[in-house]
Amino acid sequence: MKKFELSEQSEPSLGVKIGTLAATVAAGWVAQKLIKVVWEKATGHDAPIDLDTDDIPLVQAITFAAVTGGVAVLARRLARQGVTKAVNRQAKHVSVV
Protein backbone atom coordinates (compact mmCIF):
# COMPACT_ATOMS: atom_id res chain seq x y z
CA MET A 1 0.00 0.00 0.00
CA LYS A 2 1.46 3.34 -1.07
CA LYS A 3 1.25 6.26 1.38
CA PHE A 4 -0.14 9.49 -0.03
CA GLU A 5 1.18 12.73 1.41
CA LEU A 6 0.72 16.28 0.30
CA SER A 7 4.05 17.90 -0.09
CA GLU A 8 4.79 21.52 -0.84
CA GLN A 9 5.44 20.60 -4.48
CA SER A 10 2.39 18.43 -5.23
CA GLU A 11 -0.83 19.95 -6.52
CA PRO A 12 -3.70 19.42 -4.06
CA SER A 13 -6.77 17.64 -5.37
CA LEU A 14 -10.13 19.36 -5.82
CA GLY A 15 -11.38 17.70 -2.64
CA VAL A 16 -8.47 19.09 -0.65
CA LYS A 17 -9.03 22.54 -2.12
CA ILE A 18 -12.75 22.48 -1.27
CA GLY A 19 -12.05 21.08 2.19
CA THR A 20 -9.45 23.75 2.81
CA LEU A 21 -11.83 26.46 1.64
CA ALA A 22 -14.62 25.22 3.92
CA ALA A 23 -12.29 24.83 6.90
CA THR A 24 -10.80 28.29 6.29
CA VAL A 25 -14.22 29.94 6.14
CA ALA A 26 -15.30 28.18 9.33
CA ALA A 27 -12.04 29.03 11.10
CA GLY A 28 -12.31 32.64 9.96
CA TRP A 29 -15.86 32.92 11.29
CA VAL A 30 -14.84 31.47 14.67
CA ALA A 31 -11.76 33.71 14.80
CA GLN A 32 -13.87 36.80 14.05
CA LYS A 33 -16.27 35.99 16.90
CA LEU A 34 -13.37 35.28 19.25
CA ILE A 35 -11.59 38.52 18.36
CA LYS A 36 -14.78 40.50 18.98
CA VAL A 37 -15.30 38.99 22.43
CA VAL A 38 -11.66 39.32 23.48
CA TRP A 39 -11.41 42.90 22.15
CA GLU A 40 -14.54 43.98 24.03
CA LYS A 41 -13.34 42.40 27.28
CA ALA A 42 -9.80 43.78 26.94
CA THR A 43 -10.67 47.34 25.92
CA GLY A 44 -14.18 47.83 27.25
CA HIS A 45 -15.24 49.06 23.79
CA ASP A 46 -16.99 47.40 20.89
CA ALA A 47 -14.70 45.94 18.24
CA PRO A 48 -14.20 48.47 15.44
CA ILE A 49 -16.21 47.85 12.28
CA ASP A 50 -14.89 50.62 10.03
CA LEU A 51 -11.22 51.32 10.72
CA ASP A 52 -11.27 54.36 8.41
CA THR A 53 -13.64 56.39 10.58
CA ASP A 54 -12.16 59.30 12.54
CA ASP A 55 -13.99 58.15 15.69
CA ILE A 56 -11.39 55.43 16.27
CA PRO A 57 -7.94 56.53 17.51
CA LEU A 58 -5.14 55.66 15.08
CA VAL A 59 -3.29 53.44 17.58
CA GLN A 60 -6.46 51.48 18.29
CA ALA A 61 -7.16 51.02 14.57
CA ILE A 62 -3.60 49.82 13.90
CA THR A 63 -3.65 47.46 16.88
CA PHE A 64 -6.99 45.98 15.86
CA ALA A 65 -5.83 45.54 12.26
CA ALA A 66 -2.62 43.82 13.38
CA VAL A 67 -4.41 41.47 15.77
CA THR A 68 -7.09 40.63 13.21
CA GLY A 69 -4.51 39.98 10.48
CA GLY A 70 -2.40 37.76 12.71
CA VAL A 71 -5.38 35.71 13.83
CA ALA A 72 -6.56 35.37 10.21
CA VAL A 73 -3.19 33.96 9.12
CA LEU A 74 -3.15 31.58 12.08
CA ALA A 75 -6.70 30.37 11.36
CA ARG A 76 -5.92 29.83 7.67
CA ARG A 77 -2.74 27.85 8.41
CA LEU A 78 -4.40 25.69 11.05
CA ALA A 79 -7.32 24.99 8.71
CA ARG A 80 -4.99 23.96 5.87
CA GLN A 81 -2.90 21.76 8.16
CA GLY A 82 -6.02 20.12 9.57
CA VAL A 83 -7.38 19.29 6.12
CA THR A 84 -4.00 17.97 4.98
CA LYS A 85 -3.74 15.70 8.03
CA ALA A 86 -7.29 14.45 7.49
CA VAL A 87 -6.56 13.68 3.83
CA ASN A 88 -3.35 11.86 4.73
CA ARG A 89 -5.19 9.89 7.42
CA GLN A 90 -7.89 8.89 4.92
CA ALA A 91 -5.29 8.06 2.27
CA LYS A 92 -3.75 5.46 4.59
CA HIS A 93 -6.96 3.49 4.32
CA VAL A 94 -7.18 3.70 0.53
CA SER A 95 -4.73 1.86 -1.66
CA VAL A 96 -3.25 3.88 -4.51
CA VAL A 97 -2.87 1.95 -7.75
CB 75 within 8 Å of CB 20: no
pTM of the predicted model, to two decimals?
Answer: 0.68
d(CA 36, CA 46): 7
3 state SS for the chain: CCCCCCCCCCCCCHHHHHHHHHHHHHHHHHHHHHHHHHHHHHHCCCCCCCCCCCCCCHHHHHHHHHHHHHHHHHHHHHHHHHHHHHHHHHHHHCCCC
* Number of compact structural domains in the chain: 1
In a domain, 47, yes or no: yes
Task: Give the pLDDT band of residue 63 (cuts 50, 70, 90).
Answer: very high
Higher pLDDT, residue 3 or 22 = 22
**Structural domain range at position 68:** 14-93
In a domain, 82, yes or no: yes
In a domain, 7, yes or no: no
CB 72 within 8 Å of CB 31: yes
In a domain, 2, yes or no: no
In a domain, 63, yes or no: yes
CB 43 within 8 Å of CB 87: no
Write out pLDDT tens, residues 4-40. 455 555 677 787 788 888 988 999 899 999 999 999 9
The phi, psi pair for 14, rounded to 5°, reads: -60, -40
In a domain, 42, yes or no: yes
In a domain, 3, yes or no: no
